[in-house]
Amino acid sequence: LIRINRVRHFKGILVLSELTHCDGITLRKEYLSEDRIQSVEEHHRYPIERPTASDFGLWRTALFTVFSTTSTLYRPLGKYLRHPPLSYEWLYSSSNDLLFRHSSAPSSSVAIYVKTPSVSVSRRNAVQFTLSCTAVDPPVATHYASVTSLTDSSVTVHSFAPVPSPPTVLSLQEVIDSFEDHTMWDRFSFDEDGS
């Protein structure tokens, strides 16, 4: 497990969903390589690791105990309940039918892509988008997107996943009121404002 964990740290992986495309079932091929493929955000610090070739071999063997030989999970993951630990580079707005990607530059601009009409794509259900413009204000994201780059100005979307709704925060009183049997709480009182 130490050798597998060494590669996990090197790749910056926290949870299983980071290994899959947005469909929650298909392994992202870049996780089979020996390259470091993503920058780890500040709130996730991993030790500096230098996995060996045999560590990567063991990593791939471990992946294929979780994923089938067709690079799919035996059981798909569910919908996101909260935002994933690492932010998605590609987002989709279903209301505008636009795909967009935040700029890697310090500016807050986004590259906006429009759906390419009637383009045949080899992968079933894949959708192609073409670069349209850049903008300062991005549209409201409704989905995360897994994207395969084709050219500098054209990309193919592998799959989408709905962005989770913000969690509903309940007060303690609302939680207690949600229980069917209130007798346990008959003598319960709140200090101050009860929040």
Q: What is the pLDDT of residues 150-188, one digit of tens each?
A: 788 888 899 999 999 887 888 877 888 888 887 877 787
* H or E element, residue 86: none
More confidently predicted of 69 and 103: 69
Residue 119: per-residue pLDDT: 59
pLDDT number for residue 191: 74
pLDDT of residue 122: 54
Helical packing angle, 2-11 and 53-66, nearest 10°: 90
- The pLDDT value given to residue 39: 58
Pick the residue with more confidence: 20 or 86? Answer: 20
Dist CA 81 CA 105 (whole Å): 30
Give per-residue pLDDT as tens, 83-142: 887 777 888 998 888 999 876 655 678 888 988 876 555 555 678 898 888 888 888 889
- Name the pLDDT band for 143 (thresholds 50, 70, 90): very high
User: Residue 127's beta-bridge partner residues?
Assistant: 157
pLDDT of residue 105: 59
pLDDT in tens, 28-58: 888 888 887 655 555 577 778 899 999 999 9
Radius of gyration of the chain (CA): 22
Q: Please report which confidence band the pLDDT of residue 27 belongs to, taking 50, 70 and 90 as the band edges.
A: very high
pLDDT given for residue 138 in this prediction:
80
Alpha helices in the chain (DSSP H): 2-11, 53-66, 172-178
| Distance, C-alpha 6 to centroid of its chain | 22
**pLDDT score of 92:** 92
Q: What is the pLDDT of residue 161?
A: 92
